[in-house]
């Protein structure tokens, strides 16, 4: 079992959903990213998705687009992301997911990416624009070095695609809560329970995590009652940006409230 699998297993034994956090690497600097990771670890996060900044992040809303722009303006490269991951791996117990679009990985070289990611301490990879039908572009190289591969499904995924994504995934299956880009929403989608039921049927024993639009402890609690993991990104990135020099403290406070909300009420 990988560190990601262990994180979900530990959460299940403790009667809670795993808390999966996201930050953009290099936003606004490498040092700040490591500081945010430490804060998330203290707050109770189980898994950290470390985003590779990209110039055309089509699945991201305004908050993450701005984060990517800041990181790119600071000169952050994929090699820098690996250097950041090495520090996070040495300073926290977080399971680490390389979160990227396919283009930066191809430019770096898929086999080289897989090797360097594993050596940096990553436990898995999620390539946002890699559909199951094109998995051969990256999945074999990632799996060959022992990285979990995480695929996305959404409310509009037909049964065949959802089954294929689950079959190709390890670590967990990522359920996009609604159509559209990332970003905080005022409420969870009404059809989310039905989407998660379909994902669970496809995933079998593989954990199912839900993300996109979850921003508050109240939303996290509702998502935790449905899924094995709760993913929060834009809300954390926005809190860090708004706090400026106090970003680590702001993120830790929000993350603590989210982690607490992932604990399910005992019957």
Ordered by start, the domain boundaries in the chain are 3-261
Alpha helices in the chain (DSSP H): 3-13, 30-43, 62-73, 78-91, 102-108, 110-120, 139-144, 159-168, 192-203, 217-224, 234-243, 247-261
Q: Is 60 a catalytic residue?
A: yes
Catalytic residue from among 27, 46, 49, 80: 49
- How does pLDDT run across 140-154, given as a tens digit for each residue? 999 999 999 999 999
What pLDDT score does 186 carry? 59
What sign does the CA torsion over 139, 140, 143, 145 have?
Answer: negative
Rounded CA separation 28/76 (Å): 9
User: CA–CA separation, 248 vs 240, rounded Å?
Assistant: 7
Can you list the residues of the chain whose pLDDT is less than 70?
Answer: 179-187, 265-267
* pLDDT at 188 (0 to 100): 78
pLDDT value of position 200: 96
What is the SS3 assignment for 174? strand
Catalytic pick among 32, 46, 60, 135: 60
- Looking at domain 3-261, its CATH superfamily turns out to be Aldolase class I (3.20.20.70)
What is the pLDDT at residue 187?
A: 65
pLDDT of residue 126: 98
* Known catalytic residue at 245: no
At what angle are helices 30-43 and 78-91 packed, to 10 degrees?
Answer: 40
């Amino acid at each position: 079992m990988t560190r990601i699998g262990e994180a979900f297993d530990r959460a299940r034994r403790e009667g809670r959903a795993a808390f999966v956090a996201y930050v953009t690497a290099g936003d606004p600097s490498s040092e700040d990213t490591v500081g945010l990771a430490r804060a998330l670890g203290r707050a109770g996060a189980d898994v950290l998705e470390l985003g590779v900044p990209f110039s055309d992040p089509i699945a991201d809303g305004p908050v993450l687009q701005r984060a990517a722009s800041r990181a790119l303006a600071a000169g952050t490269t994929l090699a820098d992301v690996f250097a950041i991951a090495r520090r996070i791996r040495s300073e926290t117990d977080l399971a680490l997911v390389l979160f990227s679009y396919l283009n930066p990985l191809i430019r770096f070289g898929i086999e080289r990416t897989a090797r360097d990611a594993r050596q940096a301490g990553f436990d898995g990879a999620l390539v946002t624009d890699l559909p199951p039908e094109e998995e051969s572009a990256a999945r074999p190289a990632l799996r060959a070095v022992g990285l979990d591969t995480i695929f996305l499904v959404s409310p509009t995924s037909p049964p065949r695609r959802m089954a294929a994504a689950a079959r190709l995934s390890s670590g967990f299956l990522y359920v996009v809560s609604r159509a559209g880009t990332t970003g905080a929403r005022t409420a969870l989608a009404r059809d989310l329970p039905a989407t998660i039921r379909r994902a669970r049927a496809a995933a079998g024993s593989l954990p199912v995590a839900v993300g996109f639009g979850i921003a508050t402890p109240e939303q996290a609690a509702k998502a935790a009652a449905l899924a094995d993991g709760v993913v929060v990104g834009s809300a954390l990135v926005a809190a860090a940006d708004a706090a400026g020099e106090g970003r680590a403290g702001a993120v830790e406070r929000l993350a603590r409230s989210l982690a607490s909300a992932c604990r399910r009420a005992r019957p």
